[in-house]
Each structure stands twice: as C-alpha cells, then as structure tokens.
A and B are shown apart, each in its own frame.
Chain A
C-alpha cells in the first residue's frame, strides 16, 4: 500500500481534532496550552504534506515559521500561566471568568 496524501490529511485531521477537543474541555490552563501545540503541529503536518505533494518548498518554509511562532506563543502562554497562578492560586480556566457579562 502506498502512502498518499489522504493518509497524511487523515492523521492531521485527527491530531487537530484531539487538540481542539482538549482546548474545549480541559480545565487546566497548562493542558489547554499543550492542546494548542497539538493543533499547531497538525497544521504543520498539513503544510509539509502538501509541500511534498506539490513539489514546492513554500509549505515547508511556512511550517518553520509556524514552529517559530509556536515557540513564542508557548513562552507568552507560560508567562501568563505563572501570572494567573500568582493572582488566583489556581490554574482552572473555569474560575478565570472575571469578564462575565
């Protein structure tokens, strides 16, 4: 069996879905951040897959950019996590609802 682009896309879709699900349901702020990383990597996989399929390097360059941004995002996210914990003595996102209408 040859591995086609569809296989890559299915893996990417599952990975993105798991990440999105994690973002929606997990209470812990740290886990939510990790789920966001999953979603970003699912996108990376998609970009690389299409880069291979279309014989173009643009997709791969884009995925390098995404990895860079993800590093920044993780740094800021962790900083926010520490700050939140200092304020609330908790990392439960359910309780961080001060902006409720």
Chain B
C-alpha cells in the first residue's frame, strides 16, 4: 500500500478529467454555448430561490445522468485518495514514522540536467544534476496528507448539497478535483520542483474557483487579484529554489536537508537570502502581511471553496513549506526573526480588521489571515511543531466555521451581512451547534482543539531564544500573540452573537425561507465539529507523553536545541501560568463580545466608534491597504510607470527605429536615383530609340500614290542596276 502513494494524487486527477469531459460533452450535446447557458441557468436558479425551492431545478430534471456522474466521481475520487492515504500511513506504521521512517516512491527521472563539474565546493554537493518525479511519505507529509484528504473529502460531500442547484456543478467538481490533485502533489512531492508544481497548481485552481461565478465582476476581479498577488510571492519562491539548487546542486529534500545540516556557518548569509526568498513565496500563498490582500477578496468564490482552499488546505501550504525547509531556516537566525515578526504583525493586524467587518465570510477571512500569522509566528521562533499543530486544528475548526457560514448563507438565500441576521440559533440548530463548537475552539477555550495549538505557540514564543534579535522581541511577540488571542475570541463571539443570538433583523421574506441545510451539508459539519473538539488532544503538553504530535513530527521538525523540549516539560508551573493567562484573555474577549453584542445590542461598540471615528473608519476600511496598493502599484507604478516607460520609449527606444528609418531613407534615396537614371534610362532610352525609328518610317508613308510609284521605280532601277553591274 505504501508503494501506491503515487495513486493518491492520481485519483483526483482522473476525477478532474472525467468531470471536465462529462461537463463539456454534456454542454456540447445540448448545443448551447457554455456562457449563455450559464447565464440562463443562473437566472433560473435565482427565480427558483425566490420561490423557495432551491433544489428543484430544470437541470436536474432534464439531465440527471451527468449530475449523477459528477456527484459520484467528484467526492468519490477524493474518498479513494483518502482511503489510500490512510492505507499508506498505516502500512508504513505510525510508530515507524515517528521514528523517522521515510518512504520515497520514485516514478521516473523527470529532468536529467547533466553532470556537475565543480564538485566539492560545498560539502555534500551533488555530482549529478537531476530532478526525479518522486513522492515522499514521512511524518510531516503523512500529517498533511491525512487532513488534506479527509477535510477535502468532507468538503466535497458538503459541496454536493451546497452546489446542487448550480448550473456549473460539473465544472465546479472538475476544478475542485484538480485542486485536490495539485495539493496532494504539493504535499507528497519529494523535491522543491514538484512542490512548486503543486504550488502553482493550487494557485491556478484557487484562481479558477474564486472566479467560478465569472460573470460577476467582483468574483472575476478577485480571481485575478489572487493570481497576480500570488505571482509576486511565487517569484520569491522560485528565486529561493534557484538559490537552493545553486548552493546544493540538488532539489531533492533527501539530499538538500542533510547537506544543509552538515554545512558550516559560512553558508549562513546564503541561507538568509534563500530563506527570505522562500518566505516571500510563503507570504503570497499563506496571505501574510504585504501580500495578504487577495485572501479577503477570495471570499467571492463559493463558500466550500473558501473552506477548503482559503482556510483549511492551500493557504497552509506556506506554513508547510517553511516547516519542510526548517533545516534551512534554522541556519539563518535573521530569516527566522523576519518570519516571526511578519507572522506576529499579520496576526495582530488582521485581527483588528476582523473586529469591524460585517460580512460573515470577511470576518472569517481576516480570522484566517490572523491565524496563519500565528502559524508563522510559531515557525519564526522555531516551534515548527506548534505551527503544524495549529495548521491541523485550524483546518478542522476553520473549515467547520466556513461550512457553517455557508449553511447560514444557504438558509438565508444568499444573505452575507451579519447586520441583517440574528436569532438563528433556534431555526438552524445543527449549524448553530457546530458553529458554536468551532468558535469556542478558535477562541482557545480548553479542552477544545484551538486551545492546545494556540497555547503551544504562545508558550514557544514566550520561551523563544532569538540570538540575533533584541532581547525584548520575544516578549513583545508574546504580548502581540496573547492580545490577538483575546481579539480572536472577541470578534468570533461578536460574529456568533450577531448571527445566531438576539433577534432576527433581516426581511420577512427571507425569514419565511429559513431552513436547515440537507444532510450532505450537516454531516460534514458534525464531523468537523467533533474533530474541533478532539483534534487538540494529540498535543496535550503538560502530561508527560501527551505531546503526541510533537513526538510524531520530531524526525522532521526537530525542536530548537535546548529551547523547547526538555526544559519545557520541566517548567510545568510556567506552562500552567501561561495557559491560565491565555484562557483568561480569551474568556475576557468572549464575555466582552457577549455583553456588548448579545446583551447590549451593539450600543457600546457604536458609542466607541462614534467617539473615535477616525480609528473606526480606518479599521472598517481595512486600513486603506487596498487603496494604498491601488494608488502605489496600480496607479503609481503601473500607470505612472507606464507613462514613464512611454516617455523612455518615445525618446530613447525610438531612436533605434528612427535611426533605422533614417538609414533606410538614405538608401531608398540612392536607389531611387539609380532607378530614375539607370533603370528608367534604359527603358526610356529603348522607347526613345523606337520612337525615333518609327518617326523615320512614318515620314516615308506619305499617303501619296506617286511617291510610292517613284520609290517602286527607283527600287526596280536599283535591282536592275545591281543585276547589270554584278552579272
């Protein structure tokens, strides 16, 4: 089974092909152009919604077969992946994985790049350059594999219910399957290049799925924005890959990391450069500070997509990549400081924006950015295990939250503004319960999942040892982290208060349609809520041997020497104190949100907003970052730069064509002279000669008979004379 891991990504690929082909053939045979078809069905779907029967749709009734194929193939291929993933993990054995077992399946030599003639400059530098198409199963990829396939499968099942009345059902599942393929290639790839292929693949699918409703301008624009912003990050990432290849002559994880571990301190400057480049890539994909702007806009995509791609899996790829490269990052304390500071800043920054958003999905989006910042904060202080732990628990509760918000939106016929919700707890009970559980989990209340991972991060930050940073930096980061935790609890419970508690504030028409989602949507919610409760129990830090996830990941993500492991367990009292602090902050946030929004009806926050209108407006408008980027990069750099480049083009660059034109002109003048005098001279000369000749002969033809007779006589005389003379 463990030798069949290459099948894991291939199932969704096959699913993509089948879904895509069936969708295309279905639409071809109906003889309708794809685009118009979509519009008409969209309109039909909307009118159905108004009638309150979102599931009764023309498409289902007239063409049941393609829809059935999509329903089976879409989630089915991911279910097979999930089955094979767990099969492979258990075949290799959890205990062996935690002992450091690595299983590599090489499919074929992908890029043979020749022989390296400069062997021996850096220890461990490879003698032959090549890249294999190889998949790697170790404890880190096993963890990712398990939750990506499992959460992916749940969200596919959820999509069956959520997208059931959409005309692009087949297209949706084709894209979603393609995403799973790319993500699994990313997770399983055994070298940087294969990782990069998956990385670009998930970026493409993200673009396709954000812009899924491409006839809506905001969705199409959001897709483009995500793609462009990700390209900036990918540029850094690929530079980092080049750096790795230049330094080690290989891209194979199994070669690069041991070589890096064996390398001396003289590679540190290169490492700083490479790691910063790699981290720029991670910033793009995982929406960190300068490049986070695409993620909130990405909420224009369907909600299950937001759950799968923009919360649970793809956006954690950056954390996975940084963790995978932890050996490289450990060699560069400066790069680690950068990672920690960017992560901590993003966590705080995004959380403050989340305080004032009114779109249910936007709140969750900023929450995601904030939590991703947490993960990078953990990576930056060397607690890669804590970072990956948070990736895992975050995948559970954030997917649950997004799917719950999708269920809420579904129930309210597309309403996303939490100002027009409220009092839904009694109407959609399953959604409410699961959403509440996930909210408690993200807020960091024990014994739910979020508490353990967040606490692991905060503990690691508190005890962080950063040799090249100022002494106060770890403490500052810890304060940032715990403050963010409080804000997270606050805005999440603000969301719950406004959505589920209090009284209903929407229209009566919407209220009459409120209904619980079908079981294909609620069952994934229940499973994810359950995992949000128990998911953290694999990393209980106090009990000796309770940190199972740390043990499991230890072969790949060695803790920083002396900073975390042994000393950490010894200092139980400090641990408990930190836990108490984070729980106290979370409870404060929850109570504040409850008192202000559920009891007080939002009057106190409104007063605060009135007293500090500038602050409120800045937060509400997301600190005008989008506007600043627009002014700076789109207007300033792109358009102003365009004008500048135009000037350069008109003055400098045009010298070349103008010069060439001048030379051409001179040559053409010479050749025109040649043409005029030599060629035309020949032609005209011939004509003139002929003309002169015919003038001469013309004068002979006088029209006078007597002239002719004279010439005839003269001719006769001449002939006779010649005869007589030469006889």
B706 to A24, Cβ gap below 8 A?
yes
User: For the complex, what is the distance from the CA of A25 to the CA of B704, rounded to whole Å?
Assistant: 11
Among the 9-residue stretches B366-374, B444-452, B695-703, the one with 4 or more Cβ atoms under 8 Å from chain A is B695-703
B702 touches which one: A20, A23, A24, A97 (CB < 8 A)? A97
Contacts of A101 in B (CB 8 A): 697-703
User: For the complex, what is the distance from the CA of A20 to the CA of B697, rounded to whole Å?
Assistant: 25
Q: Find the A residue at minimum CB distance from B708.
A: A99
Which residues of chain A in 80-101 are interfacial with respect to chain B, using CB atoms and an 8 Å cutoff?
93-94, 96-101
A96 to B702, Cβ gap below 8 A?
no
Contacts of A97 in B (CB 8 A): 702-704
In the assembled complex, the CB of B707 is this many whole angstroms from the nearest CB of chain A, namely 9
B118 at the interface (CB under 8 A from A): no
B703 to A99, Cβ gap below 8 A?
yes
B702 to A100, Cβ gap below 8 A?
yes
Interface residues as binary, B299-324 with A (CB distance below 8 Å gives 1, 0 otherwise):
00000000000000000000000000
Contacts of A93 in B (CB 8 A): 704-706
In the assembled complex, the CB of A96 is this many whole angstroms from the nearest CB of chain B, namely 7
B704 touches which one: A20, A23, A94 (CB < 8 A)? A94
B508 at the interface (CB under 8 A from A): no
B697, B703, B709: residue with the most chain A Cβ atoms closer than 10 Å: B703
Contacts of B705 in A (CB 8 A): 93, 96
B701 to A24, Cβ gap below 8 A?
no
Contacts of A24 in B (CB 8 A): 706, 709-710, 713
Which residues of chain B in 669-727 are interfacial with respect to chain A, using CB atoms and an 8 Å cutoff?
697-706, 709-710, 713
Interface residues as binary, A3-26 with B (CB distance below 8 Å gives 1, 0 otherwise):
000000000000000001001110
Q: Find the B residue at minimum CB distance from A26.
A: B706
Contacts of A100 in B (CB 8 A): 701-704
In the assembled complex, the CB of A25 is this many whole angstroms from the nearest CB of chain B, namely 7
User: For the complex, what is the distance from the CA of A97 to the CA of B700, rounded to whole Å?
Assistant: 13
Q: Find the A residue at minimum CB distance from B706.
A: A24
In the assembled complex, the CB of A98 is this many whole angstroms from the nearest CB of chain B, namely 6
A23 to B706, Cβ gap below 8 A?
yes
A23 to B703, Cβ gap below 8 A?
no
Q: Find the B residue at minimum CB distance from A29.
A: B705
Which residues of chain A in 49-91 are interfacial with respect to chain B, using CB atoms and an 8 Å cutoff?
none
User: For the complex, what is the distance from the CA of A97 to the CA of B704, rounded to whole Å?
Assistant: 5
Contacts of B703 in A (CB 8 A): 96-101
Q: Find the A residue at minimum CB distance from B704.
A: A97
User: For the complex, what is the distance from the CA of A93 to the CA of B383, rounded to whole Å?
Assistant: 130
User: For the complex, what is the distance from the CA of A24 to the CA of B701, rounded to whole Å?
Assistant: 16
User: For the complex, what is the distance from the CA of A100 to the CA of B705, rounded to whole Å?
Assistant: 10
B713 touches which one: A20, A25, A96, A99 (CB < 8 A)? A20
A99 to B706, Cβ gap below 8 A?
no
In the assembled complex, the CB of A55 is this many whole angstroms from the nearest CB of chain B, namely 27
User: For the complex, what is the distance from the CA of A101 to the CA of B700, rounded to whole Å?
Assistant: 8
Contacts of A99 in B (CB 8 A): 701, 703
User: For the complex, what is the distance from the CA of A25 to the CA of B710, rounded to whole Å?
Assistant: 10
In the assembled complex, the CB of B721 is this many whole angstroms from the nearest CB of chain A, namely 16
A20, A24, A100, A101: residue with the most chain B Cβ atoms closer than 10 Å: A101
User: For the complex, what is the distance from the CA of A100 to the CA of B702, rounded to whole Å?
Assistant: 5
User: For the complex, what is the distance from the CA of A23 to the CA of B710, rounded to whole Å?
Assistant: 9
Contacts of B713 in A (CB 8 A): 20, 24
In the assembled complex, the CB of B700 is this many whole angstroms from the nearest CB of chain A, namely 7
User: For the complex, what is the distance from the CA of A101 to the CA of B699, rounded to whole Å?
Assistant: 7
In the assembled complex, the CB of A18 is this many whole angstroms from the nearest CB of chain B, namely 14
Q: Find the A residue at minimum CB distance from B699.
A: A101
Contacts of B697 in A (CB 8 A): 101
User: For the complex, what is the distance from the CA of A83 to the CA of B697, rounded to whole Å?
Assistant: 30
In the assembled complex, the CB of A32 is this many whole angstroms from the nearest CB of chain B, namely 8
User: For the complex, what is the distance from the CA of A25 to the CA of B705, rounded to whole Å?
Assistant: 11
Q: Find the A residue at minimum CB distance from B694.
A: A101
In the assembled complex, the CB of A46 is this many whole angstroms from the nearest CB of chain B, namely 15
Q: Find the A residue at minimum CB distance from B713.
A: A20
In the assembled complex, the CB of B705 is this many whole angstroms from the nearest CB of chain A, namely 6
Q: Find the A residue at minimum CB distance from B710.
A: A24
Which residues of chain B in 268-288 are interfacial with respect to chain A, using CB atoms and an 8 Å cutoff?
none
User: For the complex, what is the distance from the CA of A20 to the CA of B709, rounded to whole Å?
Assistant: 9
In the assembled complex, the CB of A90 is this many whole angstroms from the nearest CB of chain B, namely 14
Contacts of B706 in A (CB 8 A): 23-25, 32, 93
Q: Find the A residue at minimum CB distance from B702.
A: A100
In the assembled complex, the CB of B267 is this many whole angstroms from the nearest CB of chain A, namely 103
Q: Find the B residue at minimum CB distance from A21.
A: B713
User: For the complex, what is the distance from the CA of A20 to the CA of B703, rounded to whole Å?
Assistant: 19
In the assembled complex, the CB of B70 is this many whole angstroms from the nearest CB of chain A, namely 93
In the assembled complex, the CB of B694 is this many whole angstroms from the nearest CB of chain A, namely 9
In the assembled complex, the CB of A92 is this many whole angstroms from the nearest CB of chain B, namely 11
In the assembled complex, the CB of A95 is this many whole angstroms from the nearest CB of chain B, namely 9
Q: Find the A residue at minimum CB distance from B701.
A: A101
User: For the complex, what is the distance from the CA of A5 to the CA of B706, rounded to whole Å?
Assistant: 32
In the assembled complex, the CB of B299 is this many whole angstroms from the nearest CB of chain A, namely 97
In the assembled complex, the CB of B614 is this many whole angstroms from the nearest CB of chain A, namely 106
In the assembled complex, the CB of B698 is this many whole angstroms from the nearest CB of chain A, namely 5
User: For the complex, what is the distance from the CA of A97 to the CA of B701, rounded to whole Å?
Assistant: 10
User: For the complex, what is the distance from the CA of A9 to the CA of B631, rounded to whole Å?
Assistant: 124
Interface residues as binary, B166-183 with A (CB distance below 8 Å gives 1, 0 otherwise):
000000000000000000
Contacts of B699 in A (CB 8 A): 101
User: For the complex, what is the distance from the CA of A23 to the CA of B700, rounded to whole Å?
Assistant: 19
B698, B700, B709: residue with the most chain A Cβ atoms closer than 10 Å: B709
Interface residues as binary, A26-52 with B (CB distance below 8 Å gives 1, 0 otherwise):
000000100000000000000000000
Contacts of A96 in B (CB 8 A): 703, 705
User: For the complex, what is the distance from the CA of A38 to the CA of B221, rounded to whole Å?
Assistant: 114
Q: Find the B residue at minimum CB distance from A96.
A: B705
User: For the complex, what is the distance from the CA of A24 to the CA of B703, rounded to whole Å?
Assistant: 14
User: For the complex, what is the distance from the CA of A93 to the CA of B703, rounded to whole Å?
Assistant: 10
User: For the complex, what is the distance from the CA of A80 to the CA of B566, rounded to whole Å?
Assistant: 144
User: For the complex, what is the distance from the CA of A93 to the CA of B704, rounded to whole Å?
Assistant: 7
In the assembled complex, the CB of B5 is this many whole angstroms from the nearest CB of chain A, namely 103
User: For the complex, what is the distance from the CA of A96 to the CA of B708, rounded to whole Å?
Assistant: 13
In the assembled complex, the CB of A47 is this many whole angstroms from the nearest CB of chain B, namely 18
User: For the complex, what is the distance from the CA of A93 to the CA of B702, rounded to whole Å?
Assistant: 12
In the assembled complex, the CB of B605 is this many whole angstroms from the nearest CB of chain A, namely 114
User: For the complex, what is the distance from the CA of A24 to the CA of B700, rounded to whole Å?
Assistant: 16
User: For the complex, what is the distance from the CA of A23 to the CA of B709, rounded to whole Å?
Assistant: 8
In the assembled complex, the CB of A93 is this many whole angstroms from the nearest CB of chain B, namely 6
Give 12 A-B pairs besides A97-B704, A101-B699 with Cβ atoms closer than 8 angstroms: A20-B713, A24-B710, A24-B713, A93-B704, A93-B705, A94-B704, A96-B705, A97-B702, A99-B701, A99-B703, A100-B703, A101-B700
Question: B: which residues have CB within 8 A of A?
Answer: 697-706, 709-710, 713
A-B complex: 6 closest residue pairs judged by Cβ atoms: A101-B701, A100-B703, A97-B703, A101-B698, A99-B703, A97-B704
Instruction: Enumerate 21 A-B pairs (CB-CB under 8 Å) in ascending A order.
Output: A20-B713, A23-B709, A24-B710, A24-B713, A32-B706, A93-B704, A93-B705, A93-B706, A94-B704, A96-B703, A96-B705, A97-B703, A98-B703, A100-B701, A100-B703, A100-B704, A101-B697, A101-B698, A101-B699, A101-B701, A101-B703
